[in-house]
Amino acid sequence: MTQEKAPVPVIAIDGPSASGKGTIAERVAEALGFHYLDSGALYRLVALAALQSGIALDDEAALAELARRLEVRFGGGKIMLSGQDVTADIRSEACGMGASRVAVLPGVRQGLLARQQAFRQPPGLVAEGRDMGSVVFPDAVLKLFLTASAEVRAERRYKQLNEKGINANIRTLLQELRERDQRDSARSAAPLQQAADARELDSSDLGIAEIVRQVLDWYRQKVAGSQTL
């Protein structure tokens, strides 16, 4: 009797905007030699493609079709859309706000679901977003809900923008973050919420190295526990 292969392990990191998910997920993936999925980039790409094509951000049917046929390639630290390097373009505030708008549409989320799940390849995957543990990878080995206070997240975003030479108002950023949290939490399709079996980690007073170390410890505990069953 042949032994069934264990599924490719996934670490799912969810949380609100500017909670540090991307940085942590990348560091954890690097430490483990796993693949990395920035699911938010896919929604930003849909928003960017819509803006470039003149498609309204509330036209669900057109956006869903756009999501299904999106020509995207990740590699070498670059994100290519239809052969064009859009790595910097999708990180703009306008693109981020557009991503939050298209992400509330069930058709868009369904259109991107299979694309996200296709990132699950050996030896493993670290996926970050809003619904990685609750919807996209419900069988993830480790689910983490990374959060921080709105004030801390606004300060982080403010510093990021300043470092890029972009002028920003911290009060405006704080208001936009709170509005985005509300929109992401209230949407009908895959709302931002902590999965029942996810560990919550508040990053407000923690450094990157501390958080990465904690996530790796939790993952190794999970793996060790499953091997003793």
DSSP code, position 11: E
Dig out the tokens for 204 from the structure.
Answer: 């407000």
13 near 99, Cβ under 8 Å? no
Please report whether residue 229 resides in a domain.
no
* Structural domain that includes position 202: 10-221
**Does residue 227 form part of some domain?**
no
**Cα 172 to the center of its chain, rounded Å:** 23
For residue 201, what pLDDT is reported? 96
Residue 55 placed within a domain: yes
Q: What is the mean pLDDT of each run of 10 residues along the chain (229 residues)?
A: 72 92 93 92 94 94 93 80 91 84 91 91 94 93 95 91 85 90 77 87 93 97 75
Q: Is residue 1 part of a domain?
A: no
For residues 103 and 109, the answer to whether their CB atoms sit within 8 Å is yes
> What total number of domains does the chain contain?
1
The answer as to whether 226 is a domain residue is: no
202: part of which helix (H) or strand (E)? strand 199-202
Q: Cis check for the bond before 123: say yes or no (omega within 30 of 0).
A: yes
Alpha-carbon distances, residue 225 vs 66, 205, 218, 221 (angstroms): 42, 29, 10, 6
Residue at 5 is within a domain: no
Measured CA angle at 102 (ends 96, 107), to 5 deg: 150
Q: Look up the CATH number of the domain holding residue 85.
A: 3.40.50.300
Give me Rg for the CA atoms of the chain: 18
CB atoms within 10 A of CB 212: 19
| pLDDT for position 1 | 43
Burial class (CB within 10 angstroms; exposed 0-12, middle 13-18, buried 19+) of 9? buried
4 in a domain, yes or no? no
pLDDT of 229 reads: 52
